[in-house]
Amino acid sequence: MADFVEKLGHYIEKQVEKKPKYARELLLNAYRAYGLEMKLLPKKQLTEAKRYLTLISGQAIIRPLKSPEKQVLTSIFTPCEMMHAMDLYPMCAEQYATYTNGAGAEHAFVEAAEREGISETFCSYHKVVMGAAAAGVLPKPLAVVNTSLACDANNLTFRKCAELLGAPQYYIDIPYETDDAAVGYVAEQLKEVQHFLEELTGKKLRKEALAQSIDNARRTIHHLRKAIPLRADHYVPAELTAELYEVLMVHNALGLPETLRYAMMLRKELQTSTKKPGRKILWMHSNPFYQPSMKEFFNYQQDPHIALTEMCYDPLLDIHETDPYRFMAARCVYNSFNGPVTRRADRAVEKARTIGADGVILFCHFGCKETCGASRVIEEALTDAGFPTIIINGDGVDRLNSPDGQMKTRVGAFLEMIEK
């Protein structure tokens, strides 16, 4: 399979510059084929919940690419409940880049972005989506809607994509301050996003549909919050890719009934699992799901295994706002990635304690200045709390920028250390 993906990726990359629309169809068909394979030949190592997660995550990339007139290009921290209620298909930059890597074709878009003048040190997730827009592979969406949370790349990436694609953009400013006034400020912007989308579609957002989407989101958050403590004493098999699927589910797919169903399935599986966990790892930030060494360490392994991923819990907040716009706004304002870095560090310590983590791996994705800059503060907070922590540098999406041998040596030594 690895050889096939590599050959497919090389073939797609050759089409990008000469036949961008053909390259687009190749990518879409590759995702469809993978979805069909997972439906007919599901991975036996995975539980029913994780198999279901794979299927619905595949649909989350196929729908917006198949129907670009309904696609809304977003950042990962953009609340999307109103888009679901309007039967629109949000697609975040990180989602598109990750799936492009899955087809082995990411570097052609990295190079296309760099030809547009984007720095080599810019986030590769964002370079992929900008490169795809510049090359004409990414179709023109209905709109671009993004927040300033949580990285500076958002301020350039989505403006550039809107310019390249000729699509209207709405930029949601998330203030650094974390208080009630900030929530109100963001809520008002979300109301404006609604009007923005209504004008583009010519359709009004039905209050009942938004209420249902918000209810789905609340219930999803409830079940996933309840599932976190269960990870301390129960184990269900997973893989690095599934961790990224869950990141998508709790962000841009939050509000869908499928996401709620997954949350309920996962909680039940953890409650009924009789398997005891081995060494439990709290993984912070994104992960290099495609790297052979990391897959060898963590895919379907009971000891050690990734018990929790940071980007799967940052929006899982106990929010009591009854107003739907304030509910969505509060998730942004009080997010782990907003405000002082100590908030992110404190929540990491809290979650490490909840799951009884044996160690923490903080992945510094190449080009992510926020995580790289915060890494030492987070490491110090975790080690002071008694959790062995390692910082590793790599790239979550660009194969040519990943020191696999070095990472294998360092992570292997770390896992041996926490075992002893």
Within 8 A by CB and 6+ apart from 224, the residues are 250, 263, 266, 267, 312, 313, 316
Spatial separation of the C-alpha atoms in residues 34 and 242, rounded to whole Å: 14
- Give kind and range of the element (H or E) at residue 108: helix 106-115
Question: How many of the other CB atoms lie within 10 Å of CB of 7?
Answer: 11
Interatomic CA distance for residues 243 and 248, integer angstroms:
9
> Which tops the pLDDT comparison, 56 or 4?
56
User: Cα separation of 119 and 247, whole Å?
Assistant: 27
Please choose, from the candidates 355, 315, 357, 344, the residue with its C-alpha nearest in 3D space to the C-alpha of residue 228: 355
For 355-364, the pLDDT digits (tens) are 999 999 999 9
**Residue matched to tokens 């404006």:** 192
What count of other Cβ atoms lies within 10 Å of the Cβ of residue 72?
26
Contact of 90 with 83, CB cutoff 8 Å: yes
> Percentage of residues in the chain with pLDDT exceeding 70?
99
Beta bridge partners of 390: 361
State the pLDDT at residue 3: 66
Distances (CA, A) of 127 to 5, 123, 135, 148, 255: 21, 6, 12, 17, 28
pLDDT tens-digit readout, 262-296: 999 999 999 999 999 999 999 999 999 999 999 99
Measured in degrees and rounded to the nearest 5, phi and psi for residue 141 equal -85, 170
- Residues contacting 148, CB < 8 A, separation 6+: 154, 155, 171, 172, 173, 174
Considering the entire predicted model, what is its pTM?
A: 0.96
Distance between CA atoms of 415 and 281, rounded to whole angstroms? Answer: 9
Residues 6+ apart with CB under 8 A from 310: 282, 283, 284, 285, 336, 348, 351
- pLDDT, averaged across the chain: 95
> With bands split at pLDDT 50, 70 and 90, how would you rate the model's confidence at 2?
low
- Altogether, the residues listed in the chain come to a count of 420
Phi/psi of residue 197, each to 5°?
A: -70, -35
Distance CA 359, CA 304 (A): 10
Q: Give the C-alpha separation, 291 to 317, whole Å.
A: 32
Q: Give the Cβ contact number of residue 190 at 10 Å.
A: 23
Q: State residue 401's pLDDT score.
A: 87
Give the Cα separation of 9 and 125 in Å (integer). Answer: 17
**pLDDT tens track for 336-356:** 999 999 999 999 999 999 999
d(CA 75, CA 245): 15
Which residue intervals of 356-403 are DSSP H helices? Answer: 369-384
Whether the Cβ atoms of residue 363 and residue 286 lie closer than 8 Å to each other:
yes
User: Distance (Å, rounded) from C-alpha 20 to C-alpha 23?
Assistant: 5
Find the mean pLDDT for residues 89-107. Answer: 94
Instruction: Express each pLDDT in 216-262 by its tens digit.
Output: 999 999 999 999 999 999 999 999 999 999 999 999 999 999 999 99
Give every CB contact of residue 146 below 8 A, 6+ residues apart in sequence: 73, 74, 75, 78, 154, 157, 158, 169, 170, 171, 172
For residue 381, give the 3-state DSSP assignment: helix
What is the maximal distance between C-alpha atoms in the chain?
A: 63
Confidence of residue 368 (pLDDT cuts 50, 70, 90): confident
Which comes out higher in pLDDT, residue 3 or 276? 276
| Tokens (6 digits) for 76 | 């990962």
